[in-house]
Amino acid sequence: MNKVTTIAKMIDHSILHPTLTDDDLRRECEVAKKYHVASVCVKPYAVKMAAQLLSGCDVIVGCVIGFPAGNSVIAVKAFETETACRDGAVEIDMVINIGKALQEDWNYIEEEIKTVVDISHRYEAITKVIFETDFITRDEHKIRLCEICNKVGADYVKTSTGFGFVKGEDGKFSYKGATAHDLELMRKYSAPAVKIKAAGGVRTLTDLLKFKELGISRCGATATISMLEEAKKLYGEDIETTL
């Protein structure tokens, strides 16, 4: 696998903005197919259609659960997970209950992550657990979340949704997304078998390569085309296909 292909297979092409239509889904799935990325990450209702659009190619389908705020009860997250897997998702990106983490109700957090992980694994799907680090800002909380993910067998820990906007005193919203500090922390406190996904604010090839050096295995991205076209120019290579 050449360097450009390696980068492409790190990308989960995000198709998650609330305004996206079925036509947008079709277009973005074509982008994913053209660039042979690892996966598309779609909203629950779009899983079945994405699976049909990508049938027979080397791009797999992932689905978000409890997205973007993580507030659904555990039973709803369980139902969403099972429905997504039945519809064709083989990767599940779940948002934790952020408020429960902030109040340090770790028993609740462990139960909800374990529930989603167990259902995903029953369908041979993998689970990525989204911390939403713009809201979960204390390192001790992130460390505890990593420890819980280690314990219950999560496959990935993930920084952000891409929609964790923080309202400032001036009434304006800001967003950081993935940071080097958080990725280093998550790599340090995650078990070797648990992989790391950077998401939110990763918009350039430079960002992706920097985070790759910190040990990430996947990156959520909407700037897929620009990053991979830049990679092709940088390395003088095209994307290899296994098909």
CATH for 222: 3.20.20.70
Give me the phi and psi of 63, to 5 degrees please.
-135, 140
* Structural domain contains residue 242: no
* Structural domain contains residue 223: yes
pTM of the model as a whole = 0.95
Question: How many domains does the chain divide into?
Answer: 1
Residue 241 has a pLDDT of 78
157 - beta bridge partners? 129, 196
* Structural domain contains residue 14: yes
Element holding 126 (H helix, E strand): strand 126-130
Question: Which candidate in 77, 128, 142, 197 is catalytic?
Answer: 197
* Structural domain contains residue 118: yes
Which amino acid is it at 205? L
* Structural domain contains residue 10: yes
* Structural domain contains residue 96: yes
Q: In this predicted model, what pLDDT tens digit does every residue of 160-183 receive, in sequence order?
A: 998 887 777 787 776 788 999 999
Helices (H) and strands (E) in the chain, counts: 10, 10
Q: Among this protein's residues, is 87 annotated catalytic?
A: no
Domain ranges, residue 188: 3-235
pLDDT averaged per 10 residues, the chain (length 243): 96 97 98 98 98 97 97 98 98 98 98 98 98 96 98 98 82 82 98 96 93 97 96 94 65
Q: Among this protein's residues, is 158 annotated catalytic?
A: yes
Question: Which candidate in 77, 114, 128, 158 is catalytic?
Answer: 158
Give the burial class of 236: count Cβ atoms within 10 A of its Cβ; 0-12 exposed, 13-18 middle, 19 or more buried: exposed
Residue 242 has a pLDDT of 63
Question: Which candidate in 12, 93, 182, 207 is catalytic?
Answer: 93
* Structural domain contains residue 243: no
For tokens 């074509």, what's the residue? 30
Residue 169 has a pLDDT of 77
Pairing of strands 173-174, 166-167: antiparallel
C-alpha neighbours within 13 Å on the C-beta side of residue 173: 9
Instruction: Kindly report the average pLDDT of the chain as a whole number.
Output: 95
d(CA 136, CA 143): 11
* Structural domain contains residue 95: yes
d(CA 77, CA 133): 20
